[in-house]
Structure 1
Amino acid sequence: AQVIECIRTIINVDYPEQWPVFNKTIRIANPSTEVADLIKNICKIFWSSVYVEIPKQLCDPNIFNSWMVLFLTILGRTIHMEGQPSDPDDKKLQGWWKVKKWTIIIFTTLLKRILNNSIYRLLHPRLDIIIFEIIFPLMCFNDNDGKLWKEDPHEYVRKRYDSLQDLYSPRSAAVDLLLVLLTKCEKCCFQKFIHFIGETFRRYNEAPIDAKPYSLKCGALHAIGVLSSILKQMEPYKSQLECMLLTHVIPDFMSSVAHLRA
């Protein structure tokens, strides 16, 4: 509580006009890890300031929009793999991955609280990028997953279903944000996302054995699992679930690709 009160005092004094460093740092062409750590700390401070309630200063649409544009810029930033550690656990400790994780946590917190027409209008032009280019890839089976699966399949399964891991997982944060967007922006997002998942299944089935997009199929299955409680209650998806399971899920219990069976 004392930390939150200190943050509120800082915010009241210089928030956000005296924070130009944030705007400058996210536009550095080849930023160092020190820059990533600085941005991560700013993101954590911002999240702390909105965790309990939205500060009055942030209720100004111009100020709020300017912050959201900055966070969207961070979320869409490419992380260069040069110099990144090869070990998955070490890689998760790198500053830029933590920056993206905290950015998603910020969006999830805000969207759960205050998604309204003005915020929707701000996000709407970028929703496809957020959902299909940022969130969905985080849900897919990646190289780090593949390495862990080869080294220790039991540990892979444990980590995927460990609720404590979810607290620190970018994948879990991405899933939380997806659920918020699909429920709060249902009219424009839900059907489009389900169509995207259906197309992913179709491309997988039509691809030759040596070119099947196993990673995307894993992400699509993950998405269906996440949305299962919604799909079971919503037509026409409710009546199509059995066919979808028989066509795209049950066959993978006999798949030669072990992580799909898992």
Structure 2
Amino acid sequence: ISLEQNLGRPEFARLYTDIADQLTQTIRGKYWDDTRQLFADTPDRATFSQHVNALAILAGLVDEATQKAIGQSLLSDDSLAPASIYFKYYLHLALNEAGFGDQYLDWLDIWRENMASGLTTWGETSQVASTRSDCHAWGASPNIEFFRIILGIESAAPGFRQVRIEPHLGNLATISGTMPHPSGTISVAYERSGTQLQAEITLPQNISGLFIWNNTSYELHGGSNRLAL
């Protein structure tokens, strides 16, 4: 929908909005289980998984409060069919969307197991001891999420013309990083002491954006930005 709007085709945006609304109503009606407060895998509501409920969050099927509740179940309900190392990409995005991004470093046990096994690339499956492929791209999502979730750097406009930076530091006191951008590089450095945060952010000169911390937004401009929060 957003793509069609930005391409100047509002009639297609309206069409896809109508279809999305119909799908949302159908999915809620057929798969939402009031007792478990989760989406089921099938209309008989006999099985439940992390997969379906992560996608429900990412697809915007529920409000913010329900996102939070589903996210808590994704973290604590062991009866849900678990996501594989591949699907954890979507699971972690959903948990971040639901407000649990500060726990990201706690979700990386499979990757730690990869490293403990002596692998220098990520395995194809979650069963590290028996995987037949020790180098597979679909297990590499932390390579993205260290930048997007922990450092918080994300595109906020087509072509990365604007940036949105909302770090999730967890228990980290200091961290920094640099990522490529079509107009140069974006660099961030964070240092936290108690409730205070020092943030240094450098953007390409033609890029602006927002920095979000504790639900408050701060404007960013091209060049060097220093924030004491």
Structures share fold, TM-score greater than 0.5? no
- Which protein has the bigger strand share? 2
Higher RCO (C-alpha 8 Å, min separation 6)? 1
Give the helix-richer structure, 1 or 2. Answer: 1
